[in-house]
Every structure is written in structure tokens, then in C-alpha cells.
Amino acid sequence: MSAQRTSIHEAGTADGWHGVIQPDGQFPPEKGRYHLYIGLFCPFAHRANIVRHLKGLTDIIDISVVRPYPKGDAKGWPGWRFPKTDDEYPNATVDKLFGSEYLHEVYFRADKEYKGRYSVPLLWDKKTNTAINNESAELLRWLPTAFNSILPPEVASIDLYPAPLRPQIDIITEWMQRDINTGVYKAGFASTQEGYDKNVIPVFGALNRLEELVASNGGPFILGKGMTELDIRLYTTLIRFDTVYVQHFKCNLGTIRHDYPVLNNWLKHMYWNVPACRETTDFKHIKENYTKSHYDINPKAITPMGPFPDVEEDVETDLSKLRIGGVKLPAVVEYQSTLP
């Protein structure tokens, strides 16, 4: 992605930042040089934070965490806010670099004429005092290997994009991102009945396909015994699915824990057996972000208590014992059949 670019960022535009941390590059791997701005509520920022924990980068890249609400107006202004103190909202932090009130102030430090959204994640370089990257898909691709040269061999060897699996990862990534990662938002933010009806179908068609895929590969991960970036992509959406997307985004043709036994087992494995997932998942931030910042969807900002528990326990290691589930609505099954 970023290798094809002539510049990291087009100043004064809505274009984001596309820099890369790499040895002998503009941004070399150094302990303490970089800072990551995230929201614990955001599935896209969650990707980067999982990698940060999985690759042992927590003492190499520090973080600042915005509050999960308020978000601002329909155009995103003034955007995500930092708490005034680290005690104001659990697990949210002040802006550790600049003491900013809002995240947009950090963006304007990098480009005072920036026209885009003030999103998380945002990776910052303290040495050159500018943004490096705010594209979660790019961070997920290169961050897992960026610091390998200064990491212990056992951590550096963790490869989320192994060469033999790259063709398969690329194919699945395309429809997973389209139909699941962003698909829940297309359904949830639909402004018409027709729009909702059209957009909710692919979400469950893709979930049906993944249910079969995980079962056929034998788990515990999507492509079998080794974790890849696909597992991180899917986890950050599915951990929010029954908790938020079923009721808040009207993705209620089925639930993960009831209609998808294999995916539910996969999710339990990711949460309970992969520490980086559990350590970076905060259900208070997740629930209150969606329910208290989308006033057009939930005008009274009431946050549901359930489901309970947030994630079920008892992971089954033999997937042959699990029923392969799915939503059997004809339109969903028809869409499922179109996926590679």
C-alpha cells in the first residue's frame, strides 16, 4: 500500500498519513520514539492495540486513550475528547504528549489545514513531531514486523502475514472488510428501510461463509493452527457483535453465540486463550461509545446491560463436535454462495 505512494501525506487535504516504521527508513524502529492514539471502543484502533500487545510493544510504543463519548456532531466536530484527568473515565487517559482537550488538536499539529476526519488509531513520531499513519489496515499489515530488529527472537518470529498464506489472506480480507468489518456500519447507519434491507444481508452471508471456513480448517484460528491478521480483523468486529451490533445496528438476523457455534467457539478461544485480545477489550468503552454517541440511533443514550456474560467460557478444542451453524434466510444463503 504505502510503498506505492510518493508522499506520506498530502497536506491541506482529507488524505490521511501513510508512513511506515522500518529499518533504514524515515521512521526507524526505536524504543520510546513513537506514540499511539487510540479509542478502546473502536474496532479499527483495536487492531493496532492487539498487535501492540501481541508483539511485546507495550513498553516500546506508549498510548493515549480518548473517551468513548461524546463524539461530536454529524460531521465529527469537535470529535473525540481526552479526559481532563486519568481518573475521569476508567481506562481513558489524558493526552500524554501535548495535554490536548480534543484529538483534532493533535491532527492540526501535523497539518493545520487538514480536512479529513480525526480518527483513531493515529501513530505519532515524537522525534519529528508529526503523524506517521492513521490507516488501521496499513498498520495491521506492517506494524507486526516493524520492530522485529529490536525484539527478542521468540516475539519477532510471530508472523501474521506468512508468505504461503498471503493469497488466501488477501482474498478473504477483501470480502471480510466489505461485508463484515464495514458491513455492520452500512446496515447500522442505513437511513432507509431499503438501504438497511440491502446491507444487512451481506453481513450474515459472510458470517455463514466464515462459519464453514473455520470448521473446514479445523481451528483454532480461521486458517487453521496459526493466527494471521484475519483473526485480528474478525475479532475486533465479532467481540462487538452480540454486545452492540445485534441491537444497536439492527444486525439481528442471528447472534454469534446462538446461531454460529463454530464462530462462537473461535471467539471464545481468541478472548480466553490469546492474552493480547482479552487485555485490549474493554466492554464499558465499547458499549457506551455506540449507545451514547449515536444520538440519531439511540436518542436517550441508554446503554443495555446485556448480553451476559460478555464472552462465554469453555472452549471446545475438537471442532468436529460442533454443529456448523448459520442463518438460513434464503437471501443470506444466496449471498453466501457468491463468496470465494
Catalytic residues: 42
Radius of gyration of the chain (CA): 20
Give the Cα separation of 82 and 96 in Å (integer).
Answer: 10
Which backbone phi and psi does 102 adopt, to 5 degrees?
-125, 155
- CA 288 to each of CA 135, 234, 236, 302, 308: distance values in angstroms, whole numbers, following the listed order: 24, 21, 16, 9, 16
Give the Cα separation of 288 and 13 in Å (integer).
Answer: 31
Neighbours of 320 (CB within 10 A): 7
Nearest Cα residue to 200 out of 307, 290, 332: 332
Q: Cβ-count burial of 86 within 10 angstroms (0-12 exposed, 13-18 middle, 19+ buried)?
A: middle
Q: What does the DSSP 8-state code read for residue 32?
A: T
Residues comprising the chain, all counted: 340
Joined grid coordinates for residue 31: 524504543
Give the Cα separation of 191 and 61 in Å (integer).
Answer: 39
Which backbone phi and psi does 142 adopt, to 5 degrees?
-105, -20
Q: What does the DSSP 8-state code read for residue 31?
A: T
Joined grid coordinates for residue 59: 513498553
Give the Cα separation of 98 and 80 in Å (integer).
Answer: 15
CB 260 within 8 A of CB 325: yes
Give the Cα separation of 37 and 103 in Å (integer).
Answer: 8
- In the chain, the amino acid numbered 24 is D
Neighbours of 328 (CB within 10 A): 13
- In the chain, the amino acid numbered 169 is I
